[in-house]
Structure formats: C-alpha cells, structure tokens
Structure 1
Amino acid sequence: MTVQLFIPCFIDQLFPETAFNTVRVLEKAGCTVIYNPQQTCCGQPAYNAGFWDEAKQVGQKFLNDFSGEHPIVSPSASCTGMVKNAYDDLFTNTVIHNHCRTIQGNIHELSSFLVNVLKKDYFGAELEGRAVYHDSCSALRECRIKEEPRQLLERVDGLELVEMRDTETCCGFGGTFAVKFEAISSAMAEQKVHHALEMEADYLISTDASCLMQLQAYITKHQLPIKTMHLADVLAHGWANI
C-alpha cells in the first residue's frame, strides 16, 4: 500500500527522529511511503487561538499538499483530529468542500492506521521496562482512539504495560493554554507524571509529541526517574537502524 506521510510542526522542528521512525514502522508494515516536502502546518495553532481566517489559509495549503488517491498517515492524533473535525468549520460549503471531505476520510493517526487499516500490531520492537500510556485529549475525544495504541504496546517484547490513575485526564498542554494559564498547566502535568510514578513506570508513552513535550519538561525540571516516548519511537525500538 502506498501512503502519504504528514509530519506535524512539533515533530518536524523538535522531534525529527519520531518522523523517521514513523517511516521505518510503515515500511516494515509493507507500505511505500511518499512525502511531500512542501507540506507545512494543518492550521491548528491559528484555529485554536480564534484566527479562523488565517487557519483557513493554512488549511487550504494543507488540502493542496495532499491528494485523495492514497491514505494520509500522521504520528499525531492532535493534527489528525484537527483535519477530521475542525475543517468542517473552515471548509463546509466552500469551493473545495468535496476535496476537503475526501481528505478528511483519508487521514489516519498512526496507531489507528496500523491496527484498523493494515491489521498489524507486531513489528519486532523490544523495550525493557514498565510503561504507562497517556490518552491524549485529541486521540481519545477527537479520533476515538483508545485500544489501538495499547494493542501495539502489548506486543512490544520486554515491555510491561500498566494502567495509571486518570489516564484520560489532560496533561495540561492544550497549545496556548500552557502559556496563558501556566500555573494550572504545570499542576496538571505534575499530576499526570506522579500518577505514572505511582505505577513505578520507566516510560510514559503517548501518540502526541505536544503532550510528551509538556510532560518531559516537568520530568526534566524535577529530575524524575521516568522518560517520555512517542509510540512510533517505541515501535521502532530494538530493530531500526538508528
């Protein structure tokens, strides 16, 4: 199967190895991955800040950068959810309405694509330790993804997956929320990390780099004995030539 790869801003600028691992996992699953280097942003930052005209301009470029011919796969439930849901606000009954609907039906978050489309959940990954999984708001509430990442993690050799308290509670990032309400955001990150530590977890794993950036910042500041990892990095661990 040929797939189009969408790499969000956060991953492109701050976590490029996650992008490469996404390619490695997709290729191991038997996919031919094509990447349009002209792609940029899905428009979510502007949309969430209330600048819908600007978000529409960025979103229209996104729609032009991808075709409806092949599935679009992204290692981000947040950006996938933006396209699937918020584009309804931006492009319904516009001249690109039909193309938008095609793209919306064609974009997939990585774990959902692997489990629900390719029907594959084992990639030979190896990672020793205990892990908890954080349900990002976008994955759980916008993309309806819950069991797929857990199914993939349960097939990672050497990894013990356990459930922490309040796994479905927000980590406190929320884009500009973390800037406008710093104290609340930090307290939410603290709660999430300490729930993971209660389970004596070595790793805190999620589908969204933005959540992981928020949580790792708290972990690093307080020098805590736990590490965040993106799902794509876990699935490529132990076999990819990194």
Structure 2
Amino acid sequence: MTDAIRVYPPKPRKVYFYGTCLIDLFYPDAGLAGVQLLEREGIEVVFPQNQTCCGQPAYTSGYHDEARAVAASQLGLFPDDWPIVVPSGSCGGMMRKHYPDLFRGTPQADSANAVAGRVWELTDFLLNVCHIKLDDLGEPTTVALHTSCSARREMGVADVGPRLLDQLKNVTRVEQARPEECCGFGGTFAVRHPEISGAMVTDKVESMITAGAPEFVTTDCGCLMNIAGCAEKAERPLTGQHILSFLWQRVSTPAPGNDDGAQS
C-alpha cells in the first residue's frame, strides 16, 4: 500500500467511526461533533461497539507483540467495505501506516492491509471526500491552529485544518511561530521525558498567545490535552478545543441576535 497519490473516492453512503481512547475517556463532545458533521453531509455513521485502543502506545514503546494483540481485536470490527474515519491523525496514522508492518507475515496480514487502506483522518474526509461547505453562524473570534505531528507527517493533512477554518467568515486564523513544531506530547514521550516535553509545550503556548490567539483548535486530543493543560496550569490566557467541536459549534449555533430561521 502506498500514499504517494491519495485517491479521493466519491462520498459514500455509510462510514465506520473509530472513536479513539482519548475521545472516549476525555473528549466525547469531539466524537459527537464528528458524527454530527458526517450526518450533516448525509452519511450514516456506524460505531462498532467493541472497539478499543488501536495499539499505538505499546507499538511506539517497542512492545510490538502486545500492540499486535490489541490491534488484532480491531481488525474484525469493520466487515463491510466502507471508509473508516478516525478523528485523530495519531490513531489514524497507526492504523493506516503501521498496521501493514505490524501484521506482515502473520495470518492477519491481508485483513490489516484491507483495514489500513480504508482509514481516513476525519477532517481530511470531510474536506476532500464530502466537500463540506461551512456556513459560519458564530460570533467573530480569533484562533490558532495546531496540527499534530502524526496528522502532518503520517497522514499528510497539514493543509486541511487551515482550509476548513478559512471557510468560516467570522473566524480569524492567526499563524503562530514554528507551527510545524511538536507540542511535546508524543504519547509516552511526555511521560518518559517530562522536562523536555514541558519545555516544548510551554513554548507552544507562548507562541500562540504571542500570535494574538485567545483560543486554539487542534486535530488531536493528545495535543489538546497537553497544550490546554499547560496553559491552565500556568494561568495563561489560552483555551482550546478539538477542531471538530469548534466546527460543529460554528455551523450549528447562531450568534446572539441572529434570528435567521428562528420560530416564534
């Protein structure tokens, strides 16, 4: 399988939604927003109830046998030939880029390759498969965008977030210094190297504030947790949201005083 040329299919009738651990445990609103945005585009969303971790924490820590055991339980969850949308470049990158290597030479190799070939990062899917058009109903605001390292480098979707945000007429997107730099989370990296991770996220917070952003959005919940947590602990004026939550709020919640379509 190769990503040299990413072929965008026609918009499908159904998709599988892979929710990720962090959305399940900490940011369910982001998962719900992703489902609502897909349904807004006329797509039926199927959520396999037995889904668990994609296996990335074990895999990136060098425990490939353990990662394979976790990942193997995901392979049978998507029996029909529908796209698998993932609201995370990190988990999406694991499934699309690393499952083929993880299962190479095993009885599950064909299944892993088939799953990997159907995985899409959700914002990429909304923009380039659904061709979503966003009518901004919110009040004017200014945001910075952080695209995760996995979304940028593994999934190749660094241009997607800016293109979605730039559709919103009342949103000013500011560019922080060195936007391509890691926020310092890196999954278990933040645990193994807390001092380095802490310095990186502090720099990320300050770069966003310096750019004039009172809030930020990001495509990955790990980055959201790291950046927003650092800002809150340091009492810095910066709040954050997953980009899916932000987009859904902008298109579904009219600004105060906007009575278009209101019923008496």
Q: CA RMSD in A?
A: 1.4
Stretches of structure 2 lacking an aligned partner (at least 5 in a row): 1-12, 254-264
How high is the TM-score relative to the length of structure 2?
0.87
Paired residue type of 2:153: R
Answer with 231-240 or 130-139: which moved more.
231-240
- Matched residue type, 1:236: W
Match of 1:202 in 2: 214
Tell me if 1:236 matches 2:248.
yes
State the TM-score, normalizing by the size of structure 1.
0.95
Partner of 2:261: none
1:212-235 Cα shifts (integer Å, max 9, x gaps) = 100011111011111111110111
1:33 maps to which of 39, 45, 52? 45
Q: 1:72 aligns with which of 50, 60, 84?
A: 84
What is the correspondence of 1:147-166 to structure 2 with a 5 Å cutoff? Answer: 147-166=159-178
Q: Take 1:120 and 1:238, find their aligned partners in 2: how far apart are those partners? A: 13
Matches for 1:1-242 after TM superposition, within 5 Å: 1-122=13-134, 124=136, 126=138, 128-240=140-252
Identity %: 35
Of structures 1 and 2, the larger Rg is shown by 2
* 2: CA distance, partners of 1:103 / 1:127: 40
Structure 1 gap ranges (5+): none
SS of structure 2 residue aligned to 1:228: strand
Give the structure 1 partner of residue 7 of structure 2.
Answer: none
User: Does the CA-based 8 Å contact 1:46-1:52 persist in structure 2?
Assistant: yes
Q: Deviations over 1:137-170 (max 9, x none)?
A: 0001100111111111111241101211110000
Q: What is the rounded CA distance, in whole Å, between the counterparts of 1:123 and 1:36 in structure 2?
A: 31
